[in-house]
Structure 1
Amino acid sequence: MKKNIIALSIIVSCLASVSVNADPKTPGTSKGYSTIDILNLGVPAELNTVSVKELEKELADKPPMAVGFDIDDTVLFSTPVFYRGQQEFSPGEYGYLKNQKFWDKANCGWDAFSRPKQIATQLINMHQKRGDSIYFITGRTGSDCDFTTNYIKGVFNIEKMHDVIFAGASRDEYLKTKPIKDNNIKIYYGDADGDIISARQAGAEGIRIMRASNSSYTPIPKNGIYGERIVLDSQY
Structure 2
Amino acid sequence: MKKHFKLLTLAALCATAVSATAIAKHKVPYTNPGFYTNAPTQVAVHFVDVEGIKKSLEGKAPMTVSFDIDDTVVLSSQYFHYGFTFGEELGFGKGPKEVLHSQKFWDYVAEQGDQHSIPKQSAKDLIKMHKERGDKIVFVTGRTGHSKDKNGTVTKTAKTLQKYFDLPADTVVWYTNDTPADGFKQVKSAYIKKTGSQLHYGDSDDDILSAREVGIRGIRVQRSYSSTNPQKLNGGYGEEVLVNSAW
TM-score by length of 2: 0.80
The reply to whether residue 163 of structure 1 matches residue 175 of structure 2 is no
1:109 deviation in Å?
1.2
Task: Show the counterpart of 1:9.
Answer: none
Task: Show the counterpart of 1:217.
Answer: 229
Task: Show the counterpart of 1:86.
Answer: 84
Q: Mark the runs of 5 or more structure 1 residues left unpaired by the alignment.
A: 1-22
1:108 deviation in Å?
1.4
Task: Give deviations 1:151-178, integer Å, cap 9, x for gaps.
Answer: 1111111025322000111389423101
The reply to whether residue 229 of structure 1 matches residue 244 of structure 2 is no
Q: How many residues align?
A: 209
Matches within 5 A, 1:93-112: 93-109=96-112, 111-112=114-115
| Rg larger in structure | 1
Task: Show the counterpart of 1:11.
Answer: none
Question: 2:218 is paired with a residue of what secondary structure?
Answer: strand
Q: Retained in 2: the 8 A contact 1:134–1:161? A: no
The list of structure 1 runs, each at least 4 consecutive aligned residues, that deviate by more than 2 angstroms after superposition, is 90-94, 159-162, 170-173
Distance in 2, Cα, partners of 1:160 & 1:56: 24
Task: Show the counterpart of 2:158.
Answer: 149
Task: Show the counterpart of 2:201.
Answer: 189
Percent of matched pairs sharing the same residue? 37
1:91 deviation in Å?
5.6
> Which of 42, 49, 56 is the aligned partner of 1:58?
56
Compare the two structures and name the one with the higher helix fraction. Answer: 1
Distance in 2, Cα, partners of 1:209 & 1:181: 20
Question: 2:201 is paired with a residue of what secondary structure?
Answer: strand
Question: 1:179 is paired with a residue of what secondary structure?
Answer: helix
> Which of 25, 28, 32 is the aligned partner of 2:27?
25
Q: Which amino acid aligns with 1:36?
A: N
> Which of 217, 220, 224 is the aligned partner of 1:205?
217
Q: Retained in 2: the 8 A contact 1:81–1:110? A: no
Q: Which amino acid aligns with 1:192?
A: S
Q: Retained in 2: the 8 A contact 1:65–1:185? A: yes
Worse-matched range after superposition: 117-126 or 174-183:
174-183
1:186 deviation in Å?
1.0
Distance in 1, Cα, partners of 2:94 & 2:213: 36
Task: Give deviations 1:176-198, integer Å, cap 9, x for gaps.
Answer: 10111122211100000000000
The reply to whether residue 127 of structure 1 matches residue 139 of structure 2 is no
Question: 2:114 is paired with a residue of what secondary structure?
Answer: helix
Worse-matched range after superposition: 187-196 or 168-177:
168-177
Q: Retained in 2: the 8 A contact 1:50–1:229? A: yes
Q: Retained in 1: the 8 A contact 2:46–2:235? A: yes
Distance in 1, Cα, partners of 2:51 & 2:107: 37
